[in-house]
Amino acid sequence: MVRAMDHKIAAQRDGARSRAARRSPGPPMPTVDRRIGGVPVRVYQPDATPVIVYLHGGGFVIGDLETHDAQVRRLAAATGARVVAVDYRRAPEHPWPAAVDDTVAVLTALAGQPLAVAGDSSGGMLAALAALRVPGLLAQLLVCPNADLTLSSPSVVSEADNGFLDPAQLREWIGWWVPSPEVRASAAVNLLVADLHGLPPALVVTAEHDPLRDEGEAYVARLTSAGVPVRHWREAGLLHDFPTMRDANPAAAAAEDRFLAAARELLL
C-alpha cells in the first residue's frame, strides 16, 4: 500500500514538472541555488532589493522550484526585486508544520532587509501563515490562495467541475499535509479563524471560476476587518492559478500582468 502511494505521488510530481516544462520559460536573469537558514532555495537577481520570499503552489505536495521557475522569473523581472523561491519540505513525507517552519527559517535568516512574502494557491497560504509568525514584513502578494483547509466555502462546490482544480484531489493532499481535522479547522492553519491583526499590507487576486475563490475573498474580508490594508480584485472568467495558463490564454496573461504591476506598486 505504501509503495503504491509512493508511486502515485511520484507520478503526480512528474506530471507537474512535465506540464511546466511545456510552458514558455521566464525572462533570463542571474540565479543561484543555495541554502538560507538551512533550507534549499533558488535566488533570482541576487543583488537586487527588496527581497520577496516566494512559496510555490501545488497542493502542499506536487509543486517545486522547477514547476514555478518561469512564474518566479516574471515576478522578479516585473518588480525588480530579489526573489528567494523556497524549496520547502512537502507532504506526505513532511506534514505540517514543516513547510511553514522552512519558510520562517528563510525569513528569519534574511531579517534586517526589506522583506515581502508571495505565493500562489497553497503557497499563498504558506506565505500568509509565515507572515503571522514573522513581524515587520513589507507585503503579502497572493494569487488564488488557499485560506481554509476545511474546504467549506460555497465555491468549492459551485466551481468543482471547472476542469482544472479538483477539490477531491485537493482534499487528499490537504489530508496528507494536516492529517488532523481538528488542526485543519484551527487558528494554527486556518486563515479564516486566525487572528490577522498586524499582518502586512496585502495584494490578493482571486479568479471567478476557482473552487478556492470564496475562501480567498473571505480572507480579504477578514484582513480588512483586522485593519490590514488590502488591494483585491476578482479576475472574471478565469480559473485557479491562471498564471500557468498565460501561453494559451491572452486573458490569463493580461491578468498575471495586472498582478505583477500591482505587486511592483505595493513594494515601491
Q: Which domains does the chain possess?
A: 2-267 (3.40.50.1820)
Looking at residue 106, what is its pLDDT? 98
Residue 161 pLDDT:
79
Q: Which active-site residues does the annotation give? A: 121
Confidence of residue 163 (pLDDT cuts 50, 70, 90): low
Residue range 216-266, pLDDT digits in tens:
999 999 999 999 999 999 999 999 999 999 999 999 999 999 999 999 999
Q: Is the pTM of this model over 0.95?
A: yes
**Residue/partner pairs of 31-37 with CB below 8 Å, 24 or more apart:** 36/84, 36/105, 36/106, 36/109, 36/110, 37/102, 37/105, 37/106, 37/107, 37/108, 37/109, 37/110
What pLDDT, in 10s, does the model give residues 207-218? Answer: 999 999 999 999
Helix ranges (H only) for 22-141 are 69-79, 98-109, 122-133
Of 236, 179, 242, residue with least CA distance to 208? 236
Calculate the alpha carbon distances from 26 to 54, 57, 96, 244, 249 in Å: 15, 17, 31, 11, 16
Percent of the chain with pLDDT over 90: 95
